[in-house]
Amino acid sequence: MTNGPRHEPVLAEETVTLVAASHGGLFVDCTLGLGGHTRALLEAGATRVIGLDRDTDALALAATALAEFGDRVELVHSDYRQLGRVLEARSIAGVDGILADLGLSSLQLDAEGRGFSFRRDEPLDMRMDRTAGPTAADLLAGAGEQELADAIFKYGEERFSRRIARALVEARRTARVETTGQLAAIVRRAIPHRGYQRIDPATRTFQALRIWVNDELEGLGTFLAEAAGFLLAGARFAVITFHSLEDRIVKHGFRTLAAGESALRVLTRKPIVPGEAEVTRNPRARSAKLRVIERFA
């Protein structure tokens, strides 16, 4: 085992089975993370895997973790939505399977200084690719109250979004909101307390900011269509989501693709979710949903 952040790929057994990795061939892991799903694909029989990730820290750790597989793995610094460019640059017209796990990796959640979690007080960054784009602190500093409220409601499904946006604007009149601790405290004060709360009041706002910073929903539908276009006959495309906004896009996206192209069919009428044993072992898996589409001809 390689030293590094603890990582257990979600729904790994189910995913590997459904994409038929045991048949061999070329697979793409569009969201490499720490390489857990890629390892599972290779150990199950995939001949070769191209792994994409926009997080350079994740790529470096995955390169070490997967070194034993040699040239069976190629790692690429790229957003999954650039899949077409990555494959075309390598003159690859079709692949035997594609996987995209749209959740945060253990690295991003656990590593200090990334700003994804309110469990530590640290700089409010939240960028998956720290080589580009504004941080969460930058967005909070520059957005108007209405824009903040809209983003928190749209991406976090937070019903107190207006209260939170008002509190953020008020707070930044005194000082820029720079850390996770500052943000969490502002949100908690802004939300009415009504007895026991199953999740921390700051959870939805943190989710909203993360999605906003990384443009996570932008182009997801286009990516689904593009990826399906690279499937060879008999190949399958699996997507794992972790919140309702993403799952809704994938669910309707797959249905639309299957309705529009007779050679595609959705294999998961209902999403596959982790069993009780996996959730007990890995609580982060509890909200995961797996959907799969196949090109059968």
CATH of the domain at 170: 1.10.150.170
Average pLDDT estimate for 5-24: 89
For 43-60, the pLDDT digits (tens) are 999 999 999 999 998 999
The DSSP bridge pattern shows strands 289-295 and 231-241 to be antiparallel
Average pLDDT, the chain: 93
Would you state the pLDDT for residue 3? 43
Q: Helix, strand or coil for residue 76?
A: strand
Residue 23 sits in the same domain as residue 97: yes
Does residue 43 sit within a domain?
yes
Domain range for 93 is: 12-102+217-295
Does residue 125 sit within a domain?
yes
Q: What is the CATH number of the domain that holds 63?
A: 3.40.50.150
Choosing from 198, 214, 230, the residue where a domain stops is 214
CA quadruple 33, 135, 109, 26: dihedral, nearest 10: -10
For 249-296, the pLDDT digits (tens) are 999 999 999 999 999 999 999 999 999 999 999 988 999 999 999 999
- Split into its structural domains, the chain has a count of 2
Does residue 231 sit within a domain?
yes
Residue 119 sits in the same domain as residue 261: no
Residue 179 sits in the same domain as residue 225: no
Choosing from 195, 214, 233, the residue where a domain stops is 214
Average pLDDT estimate for 203-217: 94
For 128-145, the pLDDT digits (tens) are 888 888 999 999 999 999
Would you state the pLDDT for residue 104? 74
Residue 230 sits in the same domain as residue 210: no
pLDDT higher than 60, residue 4: no
Closest CA to 297 of 237, 245, 231: 231
- How much of the chain, in percent, has pLDDT values that exceed 90? 84
